[in-house]
Structure 1
Amino acid sequence: MADRDGFDMPPTSIAALQALSIAARRGEPRAPKLTPGALKLLEQLLAAPELAATLSISALAKQHDVNASSLTRLSHALGLTGFKAFQALFRADATTGAFYSTRAERLLDLGQIPSDGDYPVQRQTLWQEEMGNLSRTAERLDEAMLARAARALIDARRVHVVGQRACFAGAHYLAYYLGYLRSDVRLIDSLGGINLETGRELGEGDLVVGISYRPETRVSVDYCRQALDQGARLLALTNQETARLATMTDMTLLASAEGPFFFNPMSSLFVTIEMLLSHMAHEMGGDAVASIRRREALIARWQIE
């Protein structure tokens, strides 16, 4: 039930949970009594709702460097019956389709980006966070996994690259330059509505590269699932270990995408793709050079600019 200060106890939505957080930070009399640590944890969870919606209580506690009991105590302090009821608020929010707008609203309300017109400060903040994403991606890079992915791209009979919406830019970038290094590369797009039909040609010996960030696009997931059902392998490029594509394969490369930006930061994805292509070219050696020269000769012949 909403009280006279305009927030619900216990909260029944993410919006209500956010209002409680703001009230607690301001020290309003009717706000829930949270310890500094509990309030900080709540704000961190609201800033990364996708993790709160998908991770188990133990994994979420590890992510935020707290004990699982801290999440249970926070849930009770908010008037909820336990962690499952708390997590249900995040899961319900994840299905509404308003991911970007609610994320932007929370970032502004929680003061994580400047909202007073100080744009140089905001740009500097975004720059620093993107540098952090690149650093985290490099630090967490599994060299053995990178080598496996490069070898899979080299050895595959056919390669299909699928990434919709915001991830289409990365998919196009990868598919375009893969075409310099090898043949039988296809970029899957939405033109003509024949996505799943084109996947019918995939089978044993083929590879599909799925690129997907939350909110994951269903057609990308469906395409990769169909390819797997037909015997192809899957290489997933994503920003979370818990992403649906990552759970469908044992070959995943993670690109960090955190920070105070309304949409998913993509810098680390492109750097990951560059590292993958570079590793692939290194493994191919002279064959890579010969393939690139053939492509360049074709471009020159047709005077493509």
Structure 2
Amino acid sequence: MSATSRHPTAPASFAELQALANSVRRGDTQAPRLSPKAQHLLDALLGMPESVGLSNISKLGEQLEVNPSSLTRLSHALGFSGFRAFQALFREDLAGSSFYSTRAERLLDFGEAPEGTVASTSQDQALWQQEMANLTATVEGLDSGALQRAVRLIVEARHVHVIGLRASFGAAHYLAYYLDFLRDDVRHISPLAGVGVEQAQRLAEGDLVIGVAFRPETRASVDYCRLAVEQGATLLALTNHPGSQLTSLTDHVLLAPAEGPFFFNPMTSLFLLVELLLSRVAHDMGSDAITSIRQREALIACLNVE
């Protein structure tokens, strides 16, 4: 097994690892140079993601009939600091209950979460730079046609239900709260109010559900959206991953990339996407939006809420 003299940048996700393997097979000039045996080993690992994610290096070596050192050398050739960092991509993609801990393990193993005063400054800079990259990727990757169709769905829907739980709860609440300034019949689906998945049974054709879910997706959110679609409602999905469960339920998807050296899901791009959506809805509604906002402001003033 051999690699070029340069040190390749390690893939940041399982999908990127798959893409890198394709580049290696094609012999792309920017791809690491692997021996035929190493390429075969990489293909074998990609074909058994659960075993790779759940086995230790010795057991995996026995299963593949290779020395564990071969797995370590392959990891280094692909730009990883070691096999643990390589394996963490497989564990993360399983999106189980250990999603965040394996993400943290990978980041620490990459040296992206250093300790100490100087290192902390470097880490802060890395977080800022990646969040800026996420914002740029969100805007540049946004399909204006898809965004406008999403706006029309919101404006024309009979009822709008917004659901997002756990880490996505804040963005879902923000979206539902300000949509309620702009139009009638907006409901934020929240377990805090005792609202369960059965509420989706009241939805029908002409209604819209906006599902907000970043990986790992909350089962209750996915179940709610699935049941709503079965009842005839339309689903608009806001997510950070094109392979999310929500995207399999609808053709209406808006993506907010969320990558970077952070133990949990970066959320800046999601809130930008929500703001873009709200801005477009208000613009599309025109004077009706202004009238609705003024009515809400008058009510707030009358009740002396603030």
Same fold (TM over 0.5): yes
Distance in 2, Cα, partners of 1:154 & 1:192:
26
Distance verdict in 2 for CA 1:292–1:193, change over 3 Å: closer
Residues 223-273 of structure 1: CA distance to partner in whole angstroms, max 9, x if unpaired? Answer: 000000000000000011111101211111000101111111000100101
Distance in 1, Cα, partners of 2:285 & 2:247:
27
Distance in 1, Cα, partners of 2:170 & 2:39:
40
SS of the residue 2:172 aligns to = helix
Distance in 2, Cα, partners of 1:87 & 1:139:
34
Q: Partner residue of 2:301?
A: 300
Distance in 2, Cα, partners of 1:98 & 1:38:
33
After TM superposition, list the pairs within 5 Å mapping 1:18-167 onto structure 2.
Answer: 33=1, 35-36=3-4, 40=8, 43-44=10-11, 47-49=12-14, 51=15, 60-61=18-19, 66-67=23-24, 74=38, 76-77=40-41, 81=44, 83-86=46-49, 88-90=51-53, 94=94, 96-117=96-117, 118-167=119-168
Residues 33-55 of structure 1: CA distance to partner in whole angstroms, max 9, x if unpaired? Answer: 452599847x31xx324x37xxx
Kept after mapping to 2: 8 A contact 1:164/1:220: yes
Pairwise CA distance, 1:217: 0.5
> Quick one: which amino acid aligns to residue 208 of structure 1?
V
Q: Partner residue of 1:238?
A: 239
Distance verdict in 2 for CA 1:270–1:66, change over 3 Å: same
> Quick one: which amino acid aligns to residue 35 of structure 1?
A
> Quick one: which amino acid aligns to residue 190 of structure 1?
P
Distance in 1, Cα, partners of 2:202 & 2:38:
51
Distance in 2, Cα, partners of 1:215 & 1:38:
34
TM-score (norm 2): 0.78
Instruction: Report the aligned-residue RMSD.
Output: 2.6
Kept after mapping to 1: 8 A contact 2:209/2:236: yes
Pairwise CA distance, 1:113: 3.3
Q: Partner residue of 1:23?
A: none
> Quick one: which amino acid aligns to residue 219 of structure 2?
R
> Quick one: which amino acid aligns to residue 97 of structure 2?
G
Kept after mapping to 1: 8 A contact 2:91/2:102: no
Kept after mapping to 1: 8 A contact 2:159/2:185: yes
Residues 257-301 of structure 1: CA distance to partner in whole angstroms, max 9, x if unpaired? Answer: 011111110001001011101111111110010010011111111
Distance in 2, Cα, partners of 1:292 & 1:36:
61
Distance verdict in 2 for CA 1:154–1:96, change over 3 Å: closer
> Percentage identity across aligned positions?
49
Pairwise CA distance, 1:86: 4.5
Q: Partner residue of 1:200?
A: 201
Kept after mapping to 2: 8 A contact 1:75/1:83: no
Pairwise CA distance, 1:85: 1.9
Stretches of structure 1 that go unaligned for 5 or more consecutive residues are: 1-32
Distance verdict in 2 for CA 1:300–1:278, change over 3 Å: same
Kept after mapping to 2: 8 A contact 1:75/1:82: no
Stretches of structure 2 that go unaligned for 5 or more consecutive residues are: 28-33, 54-89
TM-score (norm 1): 0.78
> Quick one: which amino acid aligns to residue 297 of structure 1?
A
Distance in 2, Cα, partners of 1:273 & 1:189:
18
* Mean CA deviation greater in 189-198 or 164-173: 189-198
Kept after mapping to 1: 8 A contact 2:210/2:236: yes
Kept after mapping to 1: 8 A contact 2:95/2:216: no
